[in-house]
Chain A
Amino acid sequence: MSDLTAHDTPRDAGFGDFVVLLKPRVMSLVVFTAFVGLMVAPVSVHPLVAFVSILFIALGGGASGALNMWYDADIDAVMRRTKSRPVPAGRVTPGEALGLGLALSGISVMMLGLAANWFAAAFLAFTIFFYVAIYTMWLKRLTPQNIVIGGAAGAFPPMIGWAVATGGVGLEAVLMFALIFMWTPPHFWALALFMKDDYSNAGVPMLTVTHGRRATRNHVFVYTLLLAPVALALAATPIGGPVYLAAALVLNARFVLGAWRIRARDEAQAEADNYRAEKAFFRFSLSYLFLHFGALLADAALRGLGWGIW
């Protein structure tokens, strides 16, 4: 199968191919949310320790990305969105991806333990295990709730950042986790609605495949409704503030409205305008998460300047 691409891409991978194995775009989300988790925590951390901690949290996230690409090469080869990834394209062998993933997992956990504390390191190790073993190997191919469960792995980084500073867990950390956890399903289901046949061809039991597109539209709306109170609850904790409250009110109103539009449409309408509402919702979901965490950071900065209101 890879013979087709073997001629124009010699088998020797460049450095960039190994960087792609670490899923740099997912890593950027990990870096940002872990950074916010660390900065809003009530304990201050030496800047270099903070930098190194976030670097190795990101590397741990990258390691699980490489392990995911090692295990999922068969699925990735079928889906349009993923078939040019280094392993299915034949530039990196599965063994190299496995080796890189395992080595970086070990290095990132040990270094986080040495730089910050062993609770945060154990948390990072658990996150890698959860993403690779529980999500990728077990549930992704088994249940249409795969996105819900996989979302937990992406939701751990702000808790790890918080653990770097405090050495433990707090209500605020759990709510930051819940925010990403509840956000993931509507985000991915909107994508699945307009990526059409990709997942069914690959045999991944996405909700759109198992329960149909009508059910997926309803699910997007229900999860968005459940997400809103979680997002607003963070405003009432010590890490919330006026910026966060204002942002959460506006963003959640828009998000619920977008989800309502998706629910109110049927396939014929969506096909007619080439999934405009679904694509707009998906794009907005990215800024939704980014702006919530950005607002937490802004309130932390205000408190640092002594301008905090609560």
Chain B
Amino acid sequence: MAIGREHDLHRRRFGRNLGLGLVLVGFAAIIFGLTVVKVSNGGMIEGYDHQPRASLLPGTEEN
């Protein structure tokens, strides 16, 4: 005995789930796009972990 599921309520729920799913996919796309833009512009990024920060190094003495 299959469970009958053709009710307006199910259609509404499907519409809601589909809408939310599309919103989430869009959100992920936005985060990805922003990441690409921020990294490729690169102005504000300093390699804190893997390289010495030039701005914090003691000045080398000049002779």
CB-CB under 8 A from B12, the residues of chain A are 10, 12-14
One of A35-43, A45-53, A228-236, A301-309 at the interface: A45-53
Whether A114 is near chain B, meaning CB under 8 Å from some CB there, is yes
Which residues 5-41 of B have a CB within 8 angstroms of A?
Answer: 8-9, 12-13, 15-16, 18-20, 30, 33-34, 37, 41
Min CB distance B8 to A, Å, is 6
- Name 20 A/B residue pairs within 8 A (Cβ), A-sorted: A10-B9, A12-B9, A12-B12, A13-B12, A13-B16, A14-B12, A14-B15, A14-B16, A15-B15, A15-B16, A15-B18, A15-B20, A18-B16, A46-B41, A49-B34, A49-B37, A52-B30, A52-B33, A52-B34, A55-B30
The 3 closest A-B pairs by CB, nearest first: A15-B19, A14-B12, A15-B16
Identify which of A10, A18, A114 contacts B34 (C-beta below 8 A): A114
Whether A148 is near chain B, meaning CB under 8 Å from some CB there, is no
Min CB distance A287 to B, Å, is 32
Identify which of A10, A14, A15, A48 contacts B37 (C-beta below 8 A): A48
How many chain B residues touch A (CB < 8 A): the figure is 14
Q: CA–CA, A46 to B13, complex, Å?
A: 38
Q: CA–CA, A14 to B20, complex, Å?
A: 11
Min CB distance B5 to A, Å, is 14
Q: CA–CA, A262 to B39, complex, Å?
A: 57
CB-CB under 8 A from B15, the residues of chain A are 14-16
CB-CB under 8 A from A15, the residues of chain B are 15-16, 18-20
| Given A48-B34, A49-B34, 11 additional A-B pairs, CB 8 A | A10-B9, A10-B12, A12-B9, A14-B15, A15-B16, A18-B19, A46-B37, A48-B37, A52-B30, A55-B30, A115-B34
Q: CA–CA, A10 to B33, complex, Å?
A: 39
Identify which of B13, B33, B41 contacts A12 (C-beta below 8 A): B13
Q: CA–CA, A55 to B30, complex, Å?
A: 10
How many chain A residues touch B (CB < 8 A): the figure is 14
Give 1 or 0 for each of A2-14: 1 = CB within 8 Å of chain B CB: 0000000010111
Min CB distance A257 to B, Å, is 46
Q: Is the CB of A10 within 8 A of B8?
A: yes
Give 1 or 0 for each of A47-69: 1 = CB within 8 Å of chain B CB: 01100100100000000000000
Q: CA–CA, A16 to B16, complex, Å?
A: 8
Min CB distance B41 to A, Å, is 7
CB-CB under 8 A from A115, the residues of chain B are 34
Q: Is the CB of A48 within 8 A of B33?
A: yes
Q: CA–CA, A55 to B29, complex, Å?
A: 13
Which residues 82-134 of A have a CB within 8 angstroms of B?
Answer: 114-115
Min CB distance B40 to A, Å, is 10
Q: CA–CA, A10 to B7, complex, Å?
A: 11
CB-CB under 8 A from B34, the residues of chain A are 48-49, 52, 114-115
Q: CA–CA, A31 to B16, complex, Å?
A: 25
Q: CA–CA, A48 to B41, complex, Å?
A: 12
Q: CA–CA, A48 to B15, complex, Å?
A: 29
- Across the interface, name the chain A residue whose C-beta is closest to B11: A14
- Across the interface, name the chain A residue whose C-beta is closest to B22: A15
- Across the interface, name the chain A residue whose C-beta is closest to B13: A12
CB-CB under 8 A from A48, the residues of chain B are 33-34, 37
- Across the interface, name the chain B residue whose C-beta is closest to A19: B19
CB-CB under 8 A from B8, the residues of chain A are 10
Min CB distance B37 to A, Å, is 5
- Across the interface, name the chain B residue whose C-beta is closest to A47: B37
